[in-house]
Amino acid sequence: MKKYFGTDGIRGRVGQSPISADWMLKLGWAVGSVLNKNRPEKRSKVLIGKDTRISGYLLESALEAGLSSAGVDILLLGPMPTPGIAYLTRALRVDIGIVISASHNPYYDNGIKFFSAEGTKLPDEKELVIEAALDSIMTTVDSKALGKASRVRDAEGRYVEFCKNTFPVSLDLRGIKLVIDCANGATYKIAPTVFRELGAEVIEMASEPDGFNINDGCGSTYPGPLAEKVRLENAHAGIALDGDGDRVIMVDHTGAVVDGDELIFIIAKWYAKTNRLAGGVVGTVMSNYGLELAFQTAGIPFLRTHVGDRHVMKMLEKHQWNLGGEASGHIICLDANSTGDGIISALRVVAVMCCSGKSLKELKEGMTKCPQILINVPIAIRTQIIDHPKIQHAVNDAEQRLKGEGRVLLRPSGTEALVRVMVEGQDSTLVESIAEELAEVVKKSIGVKSDL
């Protein structure tokens, strides 16, 4: 069991352990000590990038000091999207890439993610080694062996060119008007530049970060303002990224939101048509049942895994496939980058619009989302749902009522004392009824007891 690392690195409230200056100093030292132990014959090198939260300055400085004290050299990128840090970790041949970001969370949260030298998330066993080092006494190498820090001046330009090079050379975006919501986050310069240099007319939103406004009523988790702007400007589409740029949600010309499941469907169909699809597509247990049905119709294999891009990546690697993701907009195109990349995923979708001559609205019509109801039930203690016969009986009964035309999922939250009750199917009335009944069974079986 890991003490600090969750499904996507280390995350929490700034100023509270582990997201504090003293803890980050020790973390930097621990990472550096592990690197030097594994490579005693060669000086190790680490790069650090961050999103636009004000706390990024604090955490960056603490990590830098810890790494230097362990004798590791540091490359500083400044504000850079998470997938850009993954790319530069590979391109600059460093040992580890560190991301300072809490993704789509508010500014008062922050977190740390790591990329391996190959630009992929660190495996569990390496995270455990770092955690073990954190329990050791911190020391400092001799002064002549201290690590040096330098800034990568052309990091932004390198990643812009990398993104542009994933777009077909036979296409350009002249005549296409796009509204891009950068969530006042790490993509605030890069995303508009990429699409402008490919020829698009770009209208920017939420591209003036001040350290506090990241994800504040904007970005992929708040697509409403983007939808209004797309309609107002008569744009072809809107692109909403999250604070660190690894997620994307889009809006069609009518202002309708196009979520990650629908974007994955559009990209997968294009991959299949152009012989780019390596096998099939990976989704999660939360992927809409309509996506599964659409892939059945299209003859595209589809597999589900646990929630989280780490699990999606493992499944892709296991089957040697190249496309997967989540409804949240975390889409992994392994033929382009080693992790989820919001800008590149959006470029893929816009390329399909250009190649087909179809609008985003037309492209998503091949998939019909099934009605889905999600109810969060507070529970007294975290426990195994399978241990409760009444709950399992209710689930079996619900599945029989859906007659194979829907899904039931009860999933304990990984971070809160909640059970997520999800039901989806083709009959919205039936789906809502079943979800409410299941939630009531969970409440009575293991739910929080009311004092009233």
d(CA 109, CA 11): 7
Q: Report pLDDT for 449.
A: 57
42-65 mean pLDDT: 97
**Is 270 within 8 Å of 329 (Cβ atoms)?**
no
Q: Report pLDDT for 38.
A: 73
Among 55, 103, 328, 445, the active-site one is 103
- Find which of 3-17, 215-229, 373-387 is predicted with most confidence, using mean pLDDT: 215-229
pLDDT in tens, 400-423: 999 888 899 998 876 667 888 999
261-283 mean pLDDT: 97
Q: pLDDT above 90 covers what percent of the chain?
A: 85
Mean pLDDT (the chain, rounded): 94
Q: Is the pLDDT of residue 40 over 80?
A: no
* Number of Cα atoms under 13 Å in the Cβ half of residue 136: 17
pLDDT in tens, 322-361: 999 999 999 999 999 999 999 999 999 999 999 999 999 9
User: Which comes out higher in pLDDT, residue 386 or 139?
Assistant: 139
130-140 mean pLDDT: 95
284-302 mean pLDDT: 95
Banded model confidence at residue 362, pLDDT cuts 50, 70, 90: very high
Relative to beta strand 10-13, strand 109-115 is: antiparallel
359 is a catalytic site residue: no
Q: Is the pLDDT of residue 366 over 60?
A: yes
Q: Report pLDDT for 381.
A: 66
Banded model confidence at residue 452, pLDDT cuts 50, 70, 90: very low
pLDDT in tens, 275-287: 999 999 999 999 9
d(CA 67, CA 73): 7
Q: pLDDT above 70 covers what percent of the chain?
A: 97
Q: Report pLDDT for 417.
A: 75
Banded model confidence at residue 193, pLDDT cuts 50, 70, 90: very high
**Is 330 within 8 Å of 264 (Cβ atoms)?**
no
Q: Which residue has the tokens 């036979």?
A: 170
Structural domains in the chain, sorted by start: 10-155 (3.40.120.10), 174-256 (3.40.120.10), 259-340 (3.40.120.10), 372-446 (3.30.310.50)
254-274 mean pLDDT: 97
Q: Which residue has the tokens 């194979």?
A: 404
SS3 readout for the chain: CCCCCECCEEEEECCCCCCCHHHHHHHHHHHHHHHHHHCCCCCCEEEEEECCCCHHHHHHHHHHHHHHHCCCEEEEEEECCHHHHHHHHHHCCCCEEEEECCCCCCCCEEEEEEECCCCCECCHHHHHHHHHHHCCCCCCCCHHHCCCEEECCCHHHHHHHHHHCCCCCCCCCCCCEEEEECCCCCCCCHHHHHHHHCCCEEEEECCCCCCCCCCCCCCCCCCHHHHHHHHHHCCCEEEEECCCCCCEEEEECCCCEECHHHHHHHHHHHHHHCCCCCCCEEEECCCCHHHHHHHHHHCCCEEEECCCHHHHHHHHHHHCCCEEECCCCCEEECCCCCCCCHHHHHHHHHHHHHHHCCCHHHHHHHCCCCCEEEEEEEECCCCCHHHCHHHHHHHHHHHHHHCCCEEEEEEECCCCCEEEEEEEECCHHHHHHHHHHHHHHHHHHHECCCCC
46-61 mean pLDDT: 98
pLDDT in tens, 142-154: 999 999 999 999 9
310-331 mean pLDDT: 96
Q: Report pLDDT for 303.
A: 98
